Amino acid sequence: MNFYKVLTPFQKFFLIFFLITGILSFFQLVLMGQGSFCSVFTVIGIIGLISTISGIFTCIYQARASLSCYFWWILNTITYAIVALHGALYGQFIQNIIFLLPLEIIGFIAWKRNIQTSTHGEIDVERFTAKHWIFSIIGLAIAWVVYAYFLIELPAIFKLLFNMNISSDPSYIMDSFTAVMTIYAVWLTSKRYLEQWYFWFLSNLGVILFIESMIKSGTVSVNDLSGALVWIQFGTSAIYGYFCWRKLYKARHNQ
């Protein structure tokens, strides 16, 4: 339990709260009397639970700037990709396996090297310059357009390569935006930039689609509540992570 003792009070609350809500979400059908334990403890169900738990630990250790975050992050990415593939969410599967997973492996190697060369045994947090912001804004705008076009053409690509018929993305503009922001945030994390948290927060703007779907349906289901908890988890993590990394940056540069 040493890992728990070193956590801050907020991190302990974050861990316990989202672990409990994640487990309750896993058993939601049983608790509502709409399923049995056998229907919950499926292979894909257990993989989904692992994805949920690993995501919680990723948030905590990333905010702490701990190398351990990459173990949980890679586990979360792989398990979520499997769940996405099972649910025919091919865009999410491609994003996680083709884009995010390689960046996470690169990030792990980069962080480990930085820690080994650091005099204080922790990563060195970097900051953006004006040039970084200019190139980021221009590059992200271009990437947003390219990724949106990719999502539009994805059904045709799957038909051509795999002879599979998949539905088009009805929200390709917002989905491409969140995907590009997420990919860029992962890359900035590997480069140890404090500004990564701005883009993590922007990547959570997909909650707009979530709210829109609830408004259109006119009802709030248990799945909607589970989705809301996920957005709360990652949104809270982005805000908290920013303040943790800013404090770390100031501590290193005020010495």
- List, as one string, the DSSP characters of 34-56: S--HHHHS-HHHHHHHHHHHHHH
Q: What is the pLDDT of residue 102?
A: 97
pLDDT tens across 55-75, in order?
Answer: 999 999 999 999 999 999 999
Q: Do the Cβ atoms of 208 and 143 come closer than 8 Å?
A: no
Q: How far is the C-alpha of 50 from the C-alpha of 231, rounded, in Å?
A: 18
pLDDT of 29: 66
Helices (H), the chain: 2-5, 9-26, 28-31, 37-40, 43-63, 69-86, 90-94, 101-117, 130-162, 172-190, 196-203, 207-217, 222-253
Q: Which pLDDT tens digit goes with each residue over 16-29?
A: 999 998 888 888 76
- Position 212 scores a pLDDT of 61
The residues of the chain scoring below 70 in pLDDT are 1, 29-37, 39, 206-227, 255
Q: Which residues contact 75 (CB under 8 A, 6 or more apart)?
A: 50, 54
Report d(CA 156, CA 185) in Å as an integer: 29
pLDDT at 42: 86
pLDDT of 218: 58
Contact 210, 228 (CB under 8 A): yes
CB-based contacts of 174, cutoff 8 Å, min separation 6: 205, 206, 208, 209
pLDDT the model gives residue 124: 92
Which pLDDT score is estimated for 32?
66
SS3 at position 123: coil
Q: Count the alpha carbons within 13 Å of 251 in the hemisphere toward its beta carbon.
A: 11
